[in-house]
Amino acid sequence: MQTNSKRAELTATYDWYRQMREAQPVFFDPNIQAWHIFRYDDVLRVLSDHATFSSDESSFLPPEYRNATPISSSMLRMDPPRHRKLRNLVSLAFTPRMVAHMESRIQAITNGLLDQVQASGEMDVIRDLAYPLPITVIAEILGVPAERREEFKQWSDASVGGDAESTPEDIQAIMQAMESMKAYFNEVFEERRAHPQNDLVSALLQAEVDGERLSNEELLGFCVLLLVAGNETTTNLIGNTILCLDEHPEAVERLRANRELVPGALEEALRYYSPIKLTIRGTTTETMIGDQRIEAGKLLFAWIASADRDEAQFPDASQFNIEREPNRHLGFGRGVHFCLGAPLARLEAKIALNTMLDRLPGSWHVSDAPLSPIKSSSVFGVKQLPLTWEK
Ligand code: HEM
């Protein structure tokens, strides 16, 4: 088990969230001209009321900052009614029933990945399982070759990369990655227009909304949203679950003995170390949050990771409790943008954890070296996660 000091860099933001929930739960930062929202009830309201809190960048970003990534042109950054129409196009690919059909394929990919490490008694959970599993699954759904995984990873990292400490070189590298990703998908679109196949990209190319085909920007937005959303987040759910279990080794034995506890443990990991730290919205009209008056057209940071540790909603919020009930965490968001991939993410994480419990015996031990957090203002997870078990 890691000592707190070894996790200090990783978990420092949780201390900040607690202080802010207590002292300034609705806080305006003049440097970035944005409001930060920290309490559960307030974050819930922001996510649930799309009429007051818009997802459309034009409602809160100055023109020069809009359309920075292809995700800007995706449904994630739209409001109803267009949002609903675009979401309907892909929602059929992600219903619980469709996802259940993928169970045997996800199990086969997981087995293949663990075959490569099981005998050695050690693995890097991120490199060897948590990264390759979801990227392979989403690449197969989209119909793009999983062999280009390494590039997908660079593009996907770039799409969520960048934070207050990014240098101009970091930003330059991110922009370059975005350009090669666009070029790659444009090639795929050309190829599938000429030779349609039985995959999501071909279906999207044929699809019409209000009698019109999707624009290239919208198609790219779809693919990049699914590639990034279906990838980085699930990687971090699997990795963060192992971090939680490393802090609570007794839970590993309880889970091994009673697999019915696995889904609840994953929900608790989503709450405890939420893979998505925050999401953004803009006010369409003047409104009150708590005792603060917020003008129309203001950018809001809704801190999901803070809401999910709010004592007012979760008794003993700083305890990791695999049998927490109820557990109405906001890890997958809420309202019209509730995560479309939640059934898929839950299934992938359940299969990954169950297969690890089956095949990696004895107690698990995460390396005592300090863990490096991913550099991102929106994503929470670690870059590497070396794990050993008893052979
Ligand atoms: C939306 C989290 C996995 C696809 C969201 C939102 C959150 C989230 C918080 C809402 C964002 C907002 O309201 O601004 C997660 C987490 C995941 C995960 C924590 C893994 C543990 C996936 C997967 C897919 C996916 C596997 C697809 C393959 C999407 C899409 C949206 C979305 C398309 C946008 C939905 C919309 O705008 O209507 N996700 N996600 N996610 N997620 Fe996920």
- Give the pLDDT confidence score for residue 68 in this predicted structure: 74
Which residue CA neighbors atom 18 of ligand 1 most closely? 233
Q: How far is the CA of 51 from the centre of ligand 1 (A)?
A: 20
Q: How far is the CA of 181 from the centre of ligand 1 (A)?
A: 20
Burial 288-318 (b: 16+ CB within 10 A, else e): ebeeeebeeebbbbbbbbbbbbbeebbeebe
- Of 351, 146, 336, the C-alpha closest to 262 is 351
Which residue CA neighbors atom 41 of ligand 1 most closely? 341
CA distance to 55, 266, 280, 289, 323, per residue, from 341 (Å): 18, 15, 19, 30, 24
Ligand 1 touching residue 347 (CB < 6 A):
no
**Ligand 1 atom closest to 333 (CA):** 9
CB 207 within 8 Å of CB 214: yes
Q: In whole angstroms, what is the distance from residue 22 CA to residue 303 CA?
A: 14
Phi, psi angles (nearest 5°) of residue 318: -90, 10
Dig out the tokens for 380 from the structure: 């929470």
Which residue CA neighbors atom 2 of ligand 1 most closely? 332
**Residue range 305-317: mean pLDDT, rounded:** 98
Helix (H, G, I), strand (E, B) or coil at 386: strand
In the chain, the amino acid numbered 107 is Q
- Give the pLDDT confidence score for residue 162 in this predicted structure: 65
Mutate to test the pocket of ligand 1, among 152, 340, 379 (most ligand atoms within 8 A of CB): 340
Q: How far is the CA of 120 from the centre of ligand 1 (A)?
A: 35
Cβ–Cβ contacts within 10 Å for residue 390, how many? 10
**Ligand 1 atom closest to 237 (CA):** 21
Terminal Cα-to-Cα distance of the chain (whole angstroms): 18
- Of 308, 313, 214, the C-alpha closest to 269 is 308
Dig out the tokens for 43 from the structure: 């974050």
Q: Identify the weakest region by mean pLDDT among 69-78, 245-254, 285-294, 297-306.
A: 69-78
Element of type H or E holding 168: helix 168-194
Ligand 1 touching residue 302 (CB < 6 A):
no
Helix (H, G, I), strand (E, B) or coil at 208: strand
Element of type H or E holding 124: strand 122-124
CA distance to 41, 76, 101, 334, per residue, from 47 (Å): 10, 12, 31, 6
Kindly give, in sequence order, each residue whose CB lies less than 8 Å from that of residue 368, ignoring residues fewer than 6 positions away.
2, 6
Q: How far is the CA of 344 from the centre of ligand 1 (A)?
A: 10
Q: How far is the CA of 17 from the centre of ligand 1 (A)?
A: 22
Mutate to test the pocket of ligand 1, among 339, 344, 379, 380 (most ligand atoms within 8 A of CB): 339
Which residue CA neighbors atom 21 of ligand 1 most closely? 234
Q: What is the Cβ-side half-sphere exposure of residue 309, based on CA atoms within 13 angstroms?
A: 23
Residue for token pair 């201390």: 15
**Ligand 1 atom closest to 134 (CA):** 26
Residue-wise pLDDT tens digits, 81-114: 999 999 998 887 888 888 988 999 999 999 999 9
**Ligand 1 atom closest to 47 (CA):** 13
Dig out the tokens for 335 from the structure: 């309202």
Q: Identify the weakest region by mean pLDDT among 3-7, 25-29, 51-55, 194-198.
A: 3-7
* Percent of the chain residues topping a pLDDT of 70: 97
Strand pairing class (292-294; 278-283): unpaired
Could you write out the DSSP letters of every residue in 25-43? SEEEETTTTEEEE-SHHHH
- Give the pLDDT confidence score for residue 2 in this predicted structure: 47
Phi, psi angles (nearest 5°) of residue 29: -100, 105
Provide the total of helices (H) and of strands (E) in the chain, helices listed first: 16, 12
Dig out the tokens for 217 from the structure: 């920007």
Residue 163's pLDDT band (cuts 50, 70, 90): low
Residue-wise pLDDT tens digits, 194-229: 999 888 898 889 888 888 888 888 888 888 888 877
* Percent of the chain residues topping a pLDDT of 90: 65
Ligand 1 touching residue 279 (CB < 6 A):
yes
- Of 71, 68, 87, 67, the C-alpha closest to 79 is 87
CA angle 378, 19, 306 (to 5 degrees): 35
Q: How far is the CA of 277 from the centre of ligand 1 (A)?
A: 12
Residue-wise pLDDT tens digits, 111-147: 999 999 999 999 999 999 999 999 999 888 888 887 8
Ligand 1 touching residue 225 (CB < 6 A):
yes
Which residue CA neighbors atom 35 of ligand 1 most closely? 337
Ligand 1 touching residue 139 (CB < 6 A):
no
Q: How far is the CA of 229 from the centre of ligand 1 (A)?
A: 6
Q: Identify the weakest region by mean pLDDT among 108-112, 158-162, 289-293.
A: 158-162
Cβ–Cβ contacts within 10 Å for residue 77, how many? 23
Q: In whole angstroms, what is the distance from residue 170 CA to residue 189 CA?
A: 29
